[in-house]
Amino acid sequence: MSIRVVVVDDHPDVLLGAAAYLGNCPDIQLVGQAQTIAEALIVIRDHQPQVVLVDLELPRAPGEAAEYLGGLTIARAVRAGNLQTRIIVMTGHQDRSGLVAVQPFVESKPRVVFDYLLKTATPQERIEAIRRTAQGVGRPLKFDVPKLTPREKIVLRYMALGLENAEIAQKLVVAPSTVASHVKSLMAKILTEPGIEDGQLRRTRTLCVRRALEFGILRPDQINRNHLGRDIAVKPGS
């Protein structure tokens, strides 16, 4: 019997590519595709696939912006409904910090997320992941929490409150250049993505705080949402 598969991604070219490489597999049947969370929940309900490839970032409905960790809404629905569907999470984030967010679905009984692949994975790697997942074989999905120095942790907490380097320097009674050095160091530990040029600094500081929250380095009550975005303090596994 063929493995029933659904692919969920908000990029049409990804869906077209999936249809092409899965169409050449006699043991795999692509039973549905979706571009939003709402569409995916309907397709999964109607087709009851064995395996779903889910993009980590998805919009809730057509016309809406993709939400970071939006794909895990599908994992929650599968877990809540006690469905037999198994999930493979796909992501474009090279730092793999999304591994932290999927842990509740890896460790749940029964397990919901069975694999976590970068979007650079080849079609063959995706096909092998589908076959493993259909058999109930999940890869061990481990992650390492970045280790910050005590001073870096203090600087990060001030960053989470929305303070700039000069303001942090006043709090710590040090030179702004010293704070800048700490910021550069902790960003290098938490993020592996480029983007700390001046024009992207605010976005990258915000991303750094969000990732620190996912890693458990920061708590939700340490975040100033007015400065850093209301979606940042959402607990991924809730």
Decide: residue 79, CB within 10 A, 0-12 exposed, 13-18 middle, 19+ buried.
Answer: buried
Q: Give percent of the chain above pLDDT 70.
A: 87
* Confidence (pLDDT) at 50: 98
List, for residues 15-28, the tens digit of each pLDDT value: 999 999 999 999 99
Does 119 share its domain with 182? Answer: no
Does 102 share its domain with 197? Answer: no
Give the span between the Cα atoms of 113 and 76, in whole angstroms.
10
Does 116 share its domain with 170? Answer: no
List, for residues 62-117, the tens digit of each pLDDT value: 999 888 788 999 999 999 999 999 999 999 876 566 787 888 899 999 999 999 99
- Judge whether 60 and 67 are in contact, CB under 8 Å: yes
> How many separate domains does the chain show?
2
Number of other residues whose CB lies within 10 A of the CB of residue 131: 15
What CATH number does residue 224 fall under?
Answer: 1.10.10
Task: Answer yes or no: is 98 within a domain.
Answer: yes
> Looking at beta carbons, which pairs linking 125-129 to residues 24 or more positions away fall under 8 Å?
126/18, 126/21, 126/53, 126/88, 127/21, 127/22, 127/25, 127/28, 129/88
Owning domain of residue 71: 3-134
Question: Closest Cα partner for 217 from 69, 95, 100?
Answer: 100
What CATH number does residue 104 fall under?
Answer: 3.40.50.2300
pTM value > 0.75:
no
Give the span between the Cα atoms of 205 and 190, in whole angstroms.
11
